[in-house]
């Protein structure tokens, strides 16, 4: 599991797309934090509002486009190996659970490092790390990665997951935010399976997102166990 | 001890059966050859045993352990068909990564030693994306043996290799057998199977139609032998009697002044014919026996 995780983690740092994404995250964090200082003074924000505004840019990026970024980088984490038949080497050497969890761990660590560095950059301006928002962000990414892994197991062709990944990456945040706030009884129950609902309140309800991610990952594992390589 | 044992192992895709209930045993230390035309089910059978695909029904055990079992993976080496690799990694990185997956990490020097065994010692730092098909085959064999497994599955191990490399791999397979390993291989190269394998199974349309040693297969597929004798001239006084007798000893008799050829039912008959020539004052200089090759048997099947 750890060998696969390590390979996945290092390979994510080697693609141009991921380097661009890291750059985007870091630049957003830097300028978001820098301009929020000016905004705090100019708009006369309170101390607690000023705390939030430092991470606003990064949060907007991750809530709005996080799923798209994760899908963009990892939509083919499993099916690429199935398609290119390198999976045959993996399944003859280790368990399928280790393969899925290893892949997941590698991607999760990549995003953990990226987000941590982004928060460290923000902390240069705000002089503190908001552990609560950091945890909420990690919870969201944890779910988004699980979804990317599930999609990659569910759809055998990488070209299809590329298309679907982009589609879901754009649609899911919009739908997620909508069902979180809508009063429509027919769809409002969906908020309970959407991670965005658990990010609204300033409490520890975001921990539910880890449970949702676990369920999605369990579904991916069950599917992969039935998949022929 | 049987290292491979399958009982009524079946595989179907939907309503289409691909493997029809195979019962097979392979003994420890054998080089077992699996022959069959394209689509006969050879790779499907290997893929079931190695965990790449799941059997529809039936059971199998490897090294005495009921499969599929995670514990087995450390003890088997697999070179799947159509192997492809991570193009951005070099051969050593591949071997280290795959060994780590087995939970048996290897050192760089171990990797170099195995790559030398398969003839890739000149290409240690070359990225696999730049490897030829034959070189990838060699790397496939290297990764299958790097963790010193007891049972090795090789699917078409020398296809796409030049003759020299193929001979090197043949020697490697013999060395593996000499060190007590069991090798289960498929091949389209009938000459290779004939020379290397102690037991051969012929597969047709998802079923094993015959299994045995080369001698057993020969005796099964060909109950007659074509024999050609080169001999001294037959004395005129003996010729009529001798030809009459030869016609009863075999069939398709063809004679010239210094040679006779006929088809006989068994090797014992050859000895009788030599004695008959000698009795008639005819010196036998050469006996040529035309045995069926594996290729002939395979085509017959």
Three-state SS at B221: helix
pLDDT at B222 over 80: no
**Quick check: B70 and A3 CB within 8 A?**
no
Q: What is the pLDDT of residue A127?
A: 76
Is the per-residue pLDDT at B161 higher than 70? yes
Q: State the average pLDDT for chain A.
A: 89
Predicted confidence band of residue B223 (pLDDT cuts 50, 70, 90): low
Which residues have C-beta within 8 Å of that of residue A166, sequence separation ≥ 6? Answer: A68, A71, A72
Tell which of A12, A77, A93 to mutate to test the B interface (max B CBs under 10 Å).
A93
Q: How far apart are CA A56 and CA A31, in angstroms?
A: 11
Quick check: B202 pLDDT over 80?
yes
For residue B293, the model assigns a pLDDT of: 65
For Cα atoms A57, A61, A64, give the angle at the middle one, nearest 5 degrees.
Answer: 130
Question: By the CB < 8 Å criterion, does A97 face chain B?
Answer: no
Contact B142, B188 (CB under 8 A): no
State the greatest distance between any 2 C-alpha atoms of chain A, in Å, as a whole number. 62
What pLDDT, on the 0 to 100 scale, is given for residue A138? 95
* Residues in chain B within 8 Å Cβ distance of A4: 101
* pLDDT at residue A157 is higher than 80: yes
pLDDT at B215: 79
Instruction: Give rounded-to-5 percent helix, strand, coil for chain B.
Output: 40, 30, 30
Question: Going by DSSP bridges, is the β-strand pair B284-290/B259-264 parallel, antiparallel, or unpaired?
Answer: unpaired
- What was the pLDDT predicted at B297? 67
> A 67-86 residues with CB below 8 A of B?
84-86
> Chain B residue with minimal CA distance to A7?
B97
Give ipTM to 2 decimals.
Answer: 0.83
pLDDT for the residue B296: 67
Contact residues, B window 94-113, toward A, CB-based 8 Å cutoff: 97-98, 100-103
A89 touches chain B (CB under 8 A): yes
Mean pLDDT within B19-40: 91
**The predicted structure's pLDDT at residue B24:** 93
Token pair of B12 as six digits: 């179907």
pLDDT digits (tens, 9 = 90+) for B67-123: 788 888 889 999 988 768 998 899 999 999 999 998 889 999 999 999 999 999 988
Contact B83/A91, CB-based, under 8 Å?
no
Q: What is the pLDDT of residues B227-250, one digit of tens each?
A: 999 999 998 888 888 999 998 988
CB A169 within 8 A of CB A69: yes
Average pLDDT, chain B: 89
Give phi and psi for B26, each to the nearest 5.
-125, 130
Query: Two tokens at B111?
Result: 């990797």
From the list B53, B83, B101, the residue facing A90 with the nearest CB is B101
Give the pLDDT confidence of A88-129 residue by residue, as tens digits. 999 999 999 999 999 999 999 999 999 999 888 888 877 778
pLDDT tens digits along A12-24 = 988 888 888 888 8
Query: Would the pLDDT of A46 be above 80?
Result: no
Structure tokens at B260: 């006779």
| B73–A contact, CB cutoff 8 A | yes
Is residue B137 within 8 angstroms of chain A, CB to CB?
no
pTM for the complete prediction? 0.81
The Cα–Cα gap between B11 and B17 comes to 6
Q: What is the pLDDT of residue A81?
A: 93
Express as a percent the part of chain B with pLDDT over 90.
54
The residue to which tokens 């240069």 are assigned: A124
């Amino acid at each position: 599991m750890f060998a696969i995780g390590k390979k996945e983690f290092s390979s994510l740092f080697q693609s141009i797309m991921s380097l661009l994404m890291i750059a985007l995250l870091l630049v957003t964090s830097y300028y978001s934090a820098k301009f929020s200082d000016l905004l705090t003074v100019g708009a006369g924000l309170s101390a607690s509002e000023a705390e939030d505004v430092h991470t606003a840019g990064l949060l907007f990026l991750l809530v709005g486009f996080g799923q798209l970024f994760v899908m963009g980088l990892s939509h083919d984490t499993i099916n690429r190996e199935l398609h290119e038949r390198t999976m045959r080497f993996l399944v003859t050497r280790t368990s399928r659970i280790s393969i899925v969890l290893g892949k997941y761990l590698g991607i999760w660590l990549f995003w953990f490092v990226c987000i941590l560095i982004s928060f460290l950059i923000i902390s240069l301006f705000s002089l503190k790390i908001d552990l609560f928002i950091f945890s909420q962000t990690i919870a969201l990414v944890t779910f988004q990665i699980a979804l990317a892994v599930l999609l990659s197991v569910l759809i055998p062709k990488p070209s299809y997951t590329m298309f679907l990944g982009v589609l879901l990456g754009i649609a899911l945040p919009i739908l997620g935010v909508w069902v979180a706030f809508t009063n429509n009884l027919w769809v409002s129950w969906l908020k309970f399976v959407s991670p965005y609902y658990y990010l609204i309140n300033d409490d520890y309800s975001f921990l539910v997102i880890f449970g949702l991610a676990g369920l999605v990952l369990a579904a991916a594992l069950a599917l992969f166990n039935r998949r022929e390589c | 001890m049987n290292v491979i044992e399958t009982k009524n192992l079946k595989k179907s895709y939907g309503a289409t059966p691909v493997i029809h209930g195979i019962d097979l045993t392979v003994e420890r230390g054998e080089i077992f050859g699996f022959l069959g035309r394209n689509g006969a089910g050879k790779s499907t059978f290997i893929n079931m045993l190695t965990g790449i695909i799941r059997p529809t029904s039936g059971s199998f055990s490897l090294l005495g352990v009921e499969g599929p079992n995670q514990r087995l993976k450390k003890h088997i080496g697999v070179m799947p068909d159509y192997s492809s690799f991570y193009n951005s990694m070099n051969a050593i990185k591949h071997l280290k990564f795959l060994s780590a997956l087995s939970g048996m990490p290897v050192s760089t020097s171990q990797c170099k030693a195995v790559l030398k065994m398969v003839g890739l010692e000149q290409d240690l730092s070359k990225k696999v994306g730049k490897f030829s098909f034959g070189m990838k085959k060699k790397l496939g064999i290297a990764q299958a043996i790097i963790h010193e497994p007891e049972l090795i599955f090789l699917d078409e191990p020398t296809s796409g290799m030049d003759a020299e490399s193929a001979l090197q791999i043949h020697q490697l397979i013999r060395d593996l057998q000499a060190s007590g390993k069991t090798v289960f291989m498929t091949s389209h190269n009938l000459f290779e199977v004939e020379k290397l394998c102690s037991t051969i199974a012929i597969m047709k349309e998802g079923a094993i139609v015959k299994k045995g040693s080369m001698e057993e297969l020969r005796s099964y597929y060909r109950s007659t032998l074509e024999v050609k004798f080169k001999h001294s001239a037959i004395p005129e006084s003996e010729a009529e009697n001798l030809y009459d007798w030869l016609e009863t000893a075999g069939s398709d008799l063809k004679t010239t002044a210094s040679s006779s050829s006929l088809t006989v039912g068994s090797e014992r008959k050859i000895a009788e014919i030599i004695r008959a020539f000698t009795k008639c004052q005819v010196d036998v200089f050469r006996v040529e026996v035309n045995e069926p090759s594996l290729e002939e048997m395979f085509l017959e099947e």
